[in-house]
Structure 1
Amino acid sequence: MLAELLKGRRVRPDETDAFSKLTHDKDLCPQFKTQVETMLQVYRAYGQDVHDIQGMRDDGIDVLLRYETQDGTQRRVGLQVKSEAEFQQWADKKLALPQLLKAQYATAIENVGLNDFYVLLCVNATRHKKRIRMLCSEMKKFKVCTIIEPIYILDFYEMGYVDLWGRATRLLCNNDTILKKATDEVDERDADVAFFLVALVCKALGEGYHVSDADLNDLWTEWLEFSEEDAGSDRLAVIVDDLSEEEILKYEGGIYLLQVHQLPPGLCALYFDQSIRMPGLHPDVRSQMLSLLELRDRLMIDE
C-alpha cells in the first residue's frame, strides 16, 4: 500500500517547483514521517499489526517503517529523501549523488535488512529533468529500490490528513462490503445529490432529524465551496425535490423531517463504521466519508 500512496496523483512538472524552497531536515523528513504515521493509523484502525516508525539519519535511510503483513510476515521499509539542495550540489559538481545513493542503499540493506528502499525525489522536475532520468537509470538494477519522481511524490507530501486517511483506507479496504455498498449508492446519483445525502445521513445519525430551510441553504453553500462550482440556486430546489420523492425528506409543519428508514443503508453503515474507528483521530466524520467515497475525485474526472 505504501508504494501506491507514495505515487500519488500526477502533477504538472512546473508544480514541483514547490520543492525548491523546502529543506531536507526541517521540512521534508518531518512531513513524510507524519504522512506515514497517518497511514499507520489506518492500519491500526482496521486491525493490522504495526510495530513502529522512526526518523533516522544514519544506516542509509531517513525514515524507517516496521509492520506486519496479513500473513504475519515482518517487513522493514526505508525512505531516503533527496532534496533540491542535494540535486543542485550535484548539478554544481560538488556532490556525486548517484554514488552516494548507491552507498546509502548498500548500508541500509546490510545494516537494517530492508525489504523495500524508496527514494523520494523532492526536486524541481523541470530543472533537473536529465539528472532525474540519469538517477533512475543508475538505480534500476538495484532489486528492492524504487524511485518516486517529483511529479508523483508532491501529491503525497501535500495531501491533507482527511484525504490521506481516505486514500489509505480505500487501498487497504478495496473489497470492503460496507465501503463498496456506500460507493454504489453515491455513484448512482448526481454529485450534488450525493453530497447532500452524505451530509443528511451524518445529521440524522449524529444530530437529529429536523432540517430547516436555513440548514438546506447552508448545505448548498457548502456544496458550492466543496465543488468550486457556480450553479444557480434553482438547483437546490431540484435536489430537495429529488430527496422528497425518495421520501428521505418529508415536509411537515414548516420544517423537513429526515426519514431515517429511507436513508441509504450503505451510507448509514459507513457513518457508524467511521465513527467507531476514528474517535480521537478526526472528529469530522462527514469529511472523512466524502473522502472515502472519492466525491471530489469524481468532480475532477467529470471536468
Structure 2
Amino acid sequence: MAQHDFPDHLSRIVFGLLHYRQATIAQTASFRDQWHDRDLCPAIEAKLNLILDLFERYQHAAFNIQGIRDGGVDVLLRYLPWGKSVEAVQSRIGFQVKSDRELEADDWFMKLKAQTFEATAGPQMVNFYVLLCADLTTKGRSKKVQNALADLTRSDRVSPVGPQFAYTFLSLREEEIAAFVQAKLGDEDAVYLAAVESLEQFTPTEAAILIDLLVRDLTDGADRPRLDKLQTGFVERAYRSFPDVDRDAYFPEYDPEEDDEEEDEAPEILARASSERFEEDISHLEALGDIELGRNDAVQTDTDSYRAARAVILDAMVRYGYRGEELKVYTLTTLLQRQLGRADEIARERDIVEV
C-alpha cells in the first residue's frame, strides 16, 4: 500500500513523524477552534519546513513547499531525492486537511473522496496524506472519523491520518523531530547504534540521569553536581513525564508458549513521590557501577562506557547548536526510542483500564 512504499529517506521520515505517537482523545479537543486555512494548513507548512531544514543537515535534497489549496491538495511538497539529477522529475508528497468544522457538512466525505481521486491521478505523487483534524470529544465525531479511516485505508494511493496522530504531528518540538531524523538516518551508523545499545538496559528516568550527567560533563567540565542538585530541571521533569511502574514493566519478556489471545495486565501505577523514584534510580545506577558518589555526594559517571553517547551529544551541539535542556531532550528522544515507545504503551494501557 502507498503508506508503506518509501522510495527514499525523506518519504520514510515524513510517514514516521505523521505516525509518531497517538495523543489522547481529550487532546484532540484543541481542533475545535482551528480553521482550515487560517490554522491547520499554515501549521503543516511550518512543520514540513522544519523537517526539511533538519533533514538537509544530513542529506541534500532540492525541495519546495506550496500551500496550493487546489487539485485536491492543500499542501504540496516537491523534492528531488538525493542522488537524482536536476533534470529528473520531482517527487511529490501531498496533504489534504479536514478541519473539525468541515466534518459537520453532510457531504464532507463525498467531497473528500473526489479530492483524493483528483490529487492522486498523477504518477509523481509518492504519498498522499489525508489528515482528519477532528475533535473526538464532540458527540458523533468518533464514528465519522472511524468510517472515513476504514474507507480511505482501502485505497493504495491514500494514507489517512487520524486526529490523535495529527495532533501529535502538529505538536512535535524541534528536538523531537531532530531526534527522529537522526534515529532513522542513523540506522546504519555504527556510533549511533553503539550509543543506543549503551542505554538499552535503562528505564527512561535512569537514562535521564545518565544523560544529564554526560551533558554536564561535556559542557561544565570538571564541575560535578551534588546529588541534591541533580534532581532538578530535566531529571525532575522526567519523573513527571514517565509512568511510575516497576522497572521490569519497561522490559517485558516474550513467552512464545503464552496464549496470543490472552492480554497482559496493565502495569500497576505506583504513584510514588519523585524523590523516592530518584533514590531508587540512583541506587540502581550506583550498584551497576554507572555512577559513583564522592565527597559531599558529588555524582560522577563512567564516561568511558558512554563514548558513543557522548559522540551523539557532541554531534547535536555542532549540527543543531543545541545546549542545556533541548540538548538533553534531544539525546533522550534519539537514543531511547524503544523505551519511550514502551512508556507510551503503558500510558495507553492505563487509560484503557481506567475508562
TM-score normalised by structure 2 residue count: 0.70
8 Å contact from structure 1 (residues 243, 249) kept in 2 = yes
- After superposition, where does 1:268-283 map in structure 2 within 5 Å? 268-279=310-321
Structure 2 counterpart SS, 1:2: helix
Q: Hey, what does 2:269 align to over in structure 1?
A: none
Q: Hey, what does 1:98 align to over in structure 2?
A: 109
RMSD between superposed Cα atoms in Å? 3.4
Q: Which moved more, 1:25-34 or 1:80-89?
A: 25-34
Structure 2 counterpart SS, 1:51: strand
Q: Match for 1:279: what amino acid?
A: G
Q: Hey, what does 2:49 align to over in structure 1?
A: 37
Structure 2 counterpart SS, 1:179: helix
2:215 pairs with 194, 197, 202, which one? 202
- After superposition, where does 1:1-303 map in structure 2 within 5 Å? 1-70=13-82, 72=84, 74-90=90-106, 96-109=107-120, 113-125=124-136, 127-136=140-149, 139-140=152-153, 142-213=155-226, 216-220=228-232, 222-228=234-240, 230-232=273-275, 235-236=278-279, 239=282, 242-243=285-286, 246=289, 249=292, 251=294, 256=298, 258=300, 262-279=304-321, 284-294=326-336, 296-301=340-345
Report the alpha carbon displacement of residue 177 of structure 1 after superposing the two structures with TM. Answer: 2.2
Deviations 1:217-250 (A, max 9, x none): 2445642322216233594487279459737557
8 Å contact from structure 1 (residues 43, 50) kept in 2 = no
Distance 1:236 1:138 in 2: 51
Go from structure 1 to structure 2 and tell me whether the alpha carbon gap of 1:219 and 1:68 turns closer, same or farther (over 3 Å shift).
farther
Q: Which moved more, 1:163-172 or 1:274-283?
A: 274-283
Structure 2 counterpart SS, 1:45: coil
Distance 1:89 1:274 in 2: 47
8 Å contact from structure 2 (residues 206, 281) kept in 1 = no
Q: Match for 1:135: what amino acid?
A: A
Distance 2:102 2:19 in 1: 21
Structure 2 counterpart SS, 1:188: coil
Report the alpha carbon displacement of residue 101 of structure 1 after superposing the two structures with TM. Answer: 2.3
**Identity of paired residues, percent?**
22
Go from structure 1 to structure 2 and tell me whether the alpha carbon gap of 1:168 and 1:101 turns closer, same or farther (over 3 Å shift).
same
Distance 1:64 1:173 in 2: 27
Q: Match for 1:8: what amino acid?
A: Y
Report the alpha carbon displacement of residue 107 of structure 1 after superposing the two structures with TM. Answer: 3.9
8 Å contact from structure 1 (residues 220, 236) kept in 2 = no
Q: Match for 1:181: what amino acid?
A: A
8 Å contact from structure 1 (residues 8, 153) kept in 2 = no
Distance 2:125 2:195 in 1: 38
Deviations 1:57-87 (A, max 9, x none): 2232111112344563842011010011111
Distance 2:275 2:301 in 1: 27
Report the alpha carbon displacement of residue 205 of structure 1 after superposing the two structures with TM. Answer: 1.4
How many residues end up aligned between the 2 structures?
296
Go from structure 1 to structure 2 and tell me whether the alpha carbon gap of 1:220 and 1:240 turns closer, same or farther (over 3 Å shift).
farther
Q: Match for 1:276: what amino acid?
A: V
Distance 2:105 2:163 in 1: 18
Report the alpha carbon displacement of residue 200 of structure 1 after superposing the two structures with TM. Answer: 1.4
8 Å contact from structure 2 (residues 47, 170) kept in 1 = yes
Report the alpha carbon displacement of residue 299 of structure 1 after superposing the two structures with TM. Answer: 4.1
Q: Match for 2:221: what amino acid?
A: G
8 Å contact from structure 2 (residues 130, 160) kept in 1 = yes
8 Å contact from structure 1 (residues 98, 138) kept in 2 = no
Go from structure 1 to structure 2 and tell me whether the alpha carbon gap of 1:154 and 1:265 turns closer, same or farther (over 3 Å shift).
same
Report the alpha carbon displacement of residue 130 of structure 1 after superposing the two structures with TM. Answer: 3.6
Distance 2:109 2:290 in 1: 64
Go from structure 1 to structure 2 and tell me whether the alpha carbon gap of 1:44 and 1:243 turns closer, same or farther (over 3 Å shift).
farther
Distance 2:276 2:152 in 1: 56
TM-score normalised by structure 1 residue count: 0.81
Distance 1:119 1:149 in 2: 8
8 Å contact from structure 2 (residues 290, 302) kept in 1 = no
